[in-house]
Amino acid sequence: MFGSREKQALILKAQDLGFLHIGFAKAEFMDAEASRLEAWLSNGHHGSMQYMENHFDLRTDPTKLVPGAKTVISFSFNYHTTEKAKDPEAPKIASYALGRDYHKVLKKKLKHLLSWMKDEYGDFQGRAFVDSAPVMERDWARRSGIGWMGKHTLLLHPREGSYFFLAEIICDLAFEPDHPIKDHCGTCTKCIDACPTDAISPEGYVLDGSKCISYLTIERKERLPAAFKGQMDNWMFGCDICQQVCPWNRFAKQHTESDFKPKAELLSKRKKEWIELTEEVFFELFKGTPVMRTKFKGLKRNIQFLELDEG
């Protein structure tokens, strides 16, 4: 088993590539998390995301993804930005989606890291994942001590907050595992109280995805339910409310990744320009960004729904 010296070398290399925190967990069946996922699905909290029901065995057992896996290495990558639209009335985009698609940015960095690891440790079996396979990334990050699961169900770090992406390398190298850290949410309910659609359970730690603004504006393909009229808080893609109100995010720092810097024209568009958005301008603005996931038709639907909010 690799100990602290080998772990530290890998951590330093990953930090050189821009990763914020790196943690190690033993690759094994996730018993408690499997039960929680099963209950979450049974309650219909995944809405129309039917893909969440698929590959349950892969989600809960990393050795099914990488045969012989011994370690899940988790990584966090900061995306926090203080940049925002110049027009306060312009419909809003979640901060993670303002720049280049994080899947591509982080996957490239992890491939570089895998190559370095093979030079350093010899040949091994390993795969990199960036929110692109059935991996319970938040739970692995929690197990590896990168943070705790906040009441809003996002991962929280005591010195960095929650504005970061998660990624993993699952491999058959045995590293000494790290340990989970303490939950520091305490009696705070700011995220629960601030959610305009009541997507977070009253006690916290459970999110009804079918009510979440991020789900409604990105994952839901059908017409937006009239019940949410007046509750979207002007978000046209994603939502940052539960992060914005979280006291731990007072420690969040501006990211330094050039690929995540938003285009100037994206932040300069006024409300009227968004209402009149054409498909051509949509592609000019969002090609290569996460917003492409909702497609022009979906974003236009969201903007029109926000107009109904004010109607």
* The two structure tokens encoding residue 128: 């990199």
DSSP character string of 28-85: ---HHHHHHHHHHHHTTTTTT-GGGGS-HHHHH-GGGTSTT--EEEEEEEE-------
Strands (E), the chain: 21-26, 71-78, 92-93, 126-129, 148-149, 155-156, 164-171, 235-237
Of the listed 61, 87, 131, 259, which one is catalytic?
Answer: 131
* The two structure tokens encoding residue 286: 């969002």
Query: What's the half-sphere exposure (Cβ side, CA atoms, 13 Å) at 54?
Result: 6
Please list, in sequence order, all residues whose beta carbon lies within 8 angstroms of the beta carbon of residue 32, skipping any fewer than 6 positions away. Answer: none
Q: CB-based burial of residue 265 (10 Å sphere; 0-12 exposed, 13-18 middle, 19+ buried)?
A: exposed
* The two structure tokens encoding residue 171: 């491999």
Q: CB-based burial of residue 186 (10 Å sphere; 0-12 exposed, 13-18 middle, 19+ buried)?
A: exposed
Length reported for the chain: 311
Alpha-carbon gap, residue 185 to 35, rounded angstroms: 23
- Angstrom CA distances, 31 to 60, 70, 172, 245, stand at 8, 16, 20, 32
CB 137 within 8 A of CB 167: yes
Check if 131 is active-site: yes
CB atoms inside a 10 Å sphere around CB 113: 23
Please list, in sequence order, all residues whose beta carbon lies within 8 angstroms of the beta carbon of residue 11, skipping any fewer than 6 positions away. Answer: 22
Residues serving a catalytic function are 131
